[in-house]
Amino acid sequence: MKQIKMIPLFLVFMLTFSCGEEISIPKPPTYLRLDLPKHEYVQFKEKNCNYGFEVSKIFKIREVTNELGLTCHKDIDLGALNGIIHFSFIPMEKTLGDYINFAIDKVDEHKIKASAIEDSLIIRPNDNVYGTFFELQGDVASPFQFYLTDSISKFVSGVVYLNKTPKYDSLKPSLDYLKVDLLHLINTFTWE
């Protein structure tokens, strides 16, 4: 009987002296919330290269020059999204397949890090615009790429790079916002 009465006393003793040290649990990293404006667009026309599209008001288009002067290539600064779209215009001198294969090879460079690659065909025969939009998921350097062509003589490609360490989960809200603007650019793209 004395042994049974000693059990509660033993438990109180153990609880009192076993709680001497605190165990600290590190907090997970947090990320700042990005407050982005509602989607609004302005028309952009490149008269020398005969193309145009609507671009988000928060983006800034910069001319790209080479040793010969201005080119039809553009760098589109993504503003608060802290990134850039390298937008390249290429007058076709080879077969269409060569340009499409080159664009797909650029996407394939990210297969090692990508957890998934989704592609969407762009077919707008009334505007003579055809292409593919690629969404690369995972910790990749370029989460979006696309190409557009008239299938005869003109080809453009766009590659998105963010100036951040690619952590897909934390970038997902920004990427969802950006995807809306990219699809709008593609769906309003025209050859002049």
The structure's pTM equals 0.80
Asked if pLDDT for residue 7 goes beyond 80, the answer is no
118 contacts: CB under 8 Å, gap ≥ 6:
134, 135, 137
Half-sphere exposure of 23 (CA within 13 A, CB side): 3
- Locate 56 and state its tokens: 């988000």
Per-residue pLDDT averaged across 163-179, rounded?
Answer: 85
Q: How confident is the model over 51-105, as pLDDT tens digits?
A: 999 999 999 999 888 766 668 899 999 998 899 999 999 889 999 999 999 999 9
CATH class of 45-158+176-191: alpha beta
The mean pLDDT of the chain is: 87
Q: b/e map of 145-159 (b: 16 or more CB within 10 Å)?
A: bbbbbbeeebbbbbb
Q: Is 61 exposed, middle or buried (0-12, 13-18, 19+ CB in 10 A)?
A: middle
